[in-house]
Structure 1
Amino acid sequence: MPWFVKIEEGIVDQVTFDQYIPAHKAFVRDLITKGHQAKTGYWGERGGGMLLFQAASMDEAKSIVEQDPLVKNGCVKYKLHQWCVVVE
């Protein structure tokens, strides 16, 4: 399966953002269980992060990202890219 990357920037205050982190972590764990090999994290400097995962297509990747609680609750703006691996 191709890899996809959601690069995000936080757009709400920290208190609002933090209330959705447990749901975001549960969402990512569910992706892992479903075989998407998801990984999530944040930048060392404050204000954004990344979700790396596999999906069958860009359409599926978009559908997955739309279900992320951080996206559904308006906590981040993001860009979604297909990542083409050249060396493993």
Structure 2
Amino acid sequence: MPWFVKIEKGIVAKHIFDQYVPAHLEYVARLNKLGHDAKTGYWKEDEGGMLIFQADSIEEAKTIVENDPLILNKCVEYVLHQWCVVG
């Protein structure tokens, strides 16, 4: 399966964002049970973070991202990329 990366930047106050982090982590755990090998995290030195995962297609990747609680609750802006691993 190809790899995809969602690069995100928070667009709400931290106390609002933090309300949805548990749901986001549960969502990532569900993705892993479905075989998407998802990892999520944030930038230590800056705002925002990243979700990296596998999906069968860009269409599936878009669906996965659009169903992330951080997106559903309008907590982040994001850019989605397919990551072409070369080594």
TM score, norm. by length of structure 2 = 0.98
Give the counterpart letter for 1:25 in structure 2: L
Aligned to 2:66: 66
Residue 46 of structure 1 deviates from its aligned partner by 3.8
Equivalents in 2 of 1:52, 1:77: separation in Å?
Answer: 16
Aligned to 2:51: 51
- Equivalenced residues, count: 87
| Equivalent runs, 1:6-85 vs 2, <5 Å | 6-85=6-85
CA-to-aligned-CA distance 1:10-68 (integer Å, 9 cap, x gap): 00000000000000000000000000000000000242000000000000000000000
Runs of 4+ aligned residues of structure 1 deviating over 2 Å after TM superposition are none
Cα RMSD (Å): 0.5
TM score, norm. by length of structure 1 = 0.97
Equivalents in 1 of 2:14, 2:40: separation in Å?
Answer: 18
Task: Note the residue ranges of structure 1 that are not aligned, 5 or more in a row.
Answer: none
Task: Note the residue ranges of structure 2 that are not aligned, 5 or more in a row.
Answer: none
